[in-house]
């Protein structure tokens, strides 16, 4: 009979429950959010951006309102939406 125990320390993945606020939830790259970086919200690029309806629907529900999307993902969304609205010849 061995006296060894099979108890191992369990690790918990906290990255899923607490996202990095400086990372875009769509592409995983830096989102450029000035406010999340500790600067005034007025300095953020998003203050001068237009966010079309539906852009935030691309974010998985469990990650919505936890971190900002980046400017590149916003532009990609806009370009795709514009392309989808173009009449087909």
Q: Give the model confidence (pLDDT) of 41-85 as tens digits.
A: 899 999 999 999 999 999 999 889 999 999 999 999 999 988 887
- For the full predicted model, state whether its pTM sits above 0.75: no
pLDDT at 7 over 90: no
Q: What is the pLDDT of residues 30-53, one digit of tens each?
A: 999 999 999 998 999 999 999 999
Non-local (6+) Cβ contacts of 65 within 8 A are: none
The domain ranges of the chain are: 22-89
Burial 31-43 (b: 16+ CB within 10 A, else e): bbbbebeeeeeee
HSE of 23, CA atoms in CB hemisphere, 13 A: 11
User: For the chain, what's the residue count?
Assistant: 89
Dihedral in degrees, nearest 10, Cα atoms 85, 87, 88, 89: -160
Longest dimension (CA), the chain: 79
């Amino acid at each position: 009979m061995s006296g060894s125990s099979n108890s191992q320390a369990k690790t918990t993945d906290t990255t899923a429950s607490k996202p990095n606020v400086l990372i875009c939830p769509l592409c995983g790259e830096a989102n450029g959010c000035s406010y999340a970086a500790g600067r005034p919200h007025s300095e953020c690029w998003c203050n001068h951006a237009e966010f079309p309806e539906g852009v935030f629907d691309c974010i998985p529900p469990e990650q919505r309102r936890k971190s900002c999307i980046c400017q590149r993902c916003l532009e990609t969304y806009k370009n795709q939406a514009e392309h989808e609205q173009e009449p087909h010849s």
